Amino acid sequence: METRSRKIVIMRPAPDRAAVAAAQAAGFEVLEAPLFDHDQPPPPIEEMINFIGDAGAVLAMPQCPIGARVLENCPNLQTAMSLVIGVDHIDRETATRLGILVCNSPAPENILGVAEATVGLMVALVKHLKLNESYLRAGNWYNVAHRGVIMAGRTVGFIALGRIARETAKRLAGWGMRMLAYDPYVDAATMAGLGIEKMELEPLLRASDFVSIHALLTPETRDLIGLDQLRLMKPDAYLVNTSRGGIVNEKALAQALNEGIIAGAALDTFANEPLEKDSELRRVDPNKLIMTPHIIGHPQGVEGPSFRLAMDTARKVLSGELPQYVMNPAAIERWRARWS
């Protein structure tokens, strides 16, 4: 068994001093990095390796990717923690091979915030809010052709049915909408209990008036929605992605919107963030595409609950306790062999 480290490294200033003080009082060393600005490139890998050093846990935002070189050169790491729900900034394959637990921080405030934002984006699209506002700001007034439609009686298809999709479905349940879901890991009985019909991807795309993406970014889901999939959708359908950008092929989406293959889309996340200045998405008619900078589902104050959850998880792992939110369960056996 290897010697456990009780050092926790946070790749940003801690947003909750009480959580840091509680960890220190419990005998953990806590080291905080300077704030890495969202609009700046990540810190150099060697700098990250040196900063993490002999720590047993590292907590990182998506702006600080924890890749293979970092994981392989920090030999005391037991866990690499995401300070948000997504974990695609952590190399799960390498972590699993090394017996390092990859964990996330699905604070209820974050889950509810994304669910509310998803519904809001659907409403904004179907009511043509951007089109009507731009028309008004241009000095015009009322145009019958700009009327939206009601959502009642329409069909929403969820791609992945995790916590956020389920909370989104709860908020749509009273709106008289038909709800479908594609998720190979959730059985039909569970979906039926939520008032949702299980369906394969292609028929879901054909049947849905709204396609709402809630999947993690994995090799299985990368570019899951390309031009072929978009062509299956109705010409008056809308796509909403509040999960991870790499799931939707952005070039294909830009083409689909420019050619009228689908009616519109809303994106809060992109394959590369910040979104490149020359991205084709920036040239799409803004009345057809709502874009927000991966923030619309993050309510004010969410950093505190997410950070407290991450700190609690890190303390559990470094104390030999298996935490609740392990995103690479295949690493558990190796982790136990190394540290138990």
Active site residues: 244, 273, 294
Question: Distance (Å, rounded) from C-alpha 295 to C-alpha 23?
Answer: 29
- Evaluate whether 135 touches 146 at the Cβ level (below 8 Å): yes
Which of 220, 232, 228 is CA-nearest to residue 185? Answer: 220
Question: Distance (Å, rounded) from C-alpha 170 to C-alpha 66?
Answer: 34
Gyration radius (Cα) of the chain, Å? 22
Helix locations, 99-200, DSSP H: 108-126, 129-137, 163-172, 188-193
Question: Distance (Å, rounded) from C-alpha 99 to C-alpha 79?
Answer: 9
How many residues does this entry show for the chain? 340
Which of 33, 25, 38, 35 is CA-nearest to residue 55? Answer: 33
Question: Distance (Å, rounded) from C-alpha 336 to C-alpha 334?
Answer: 5
Question: Distance (Å, rounded) from C-alpha 194 to C-alpha 183?
Answer: 14
Question: Distance (Å, rounded) from C-alpha 333 to C-alpha 288?
Answer: 48
Percentages of the chain per state (helix, strand, coil), in multiples of 5:
40, 15, 45
Which of 2, 60, 82, 41 is CA-nearest to residue 335? Answer: 2
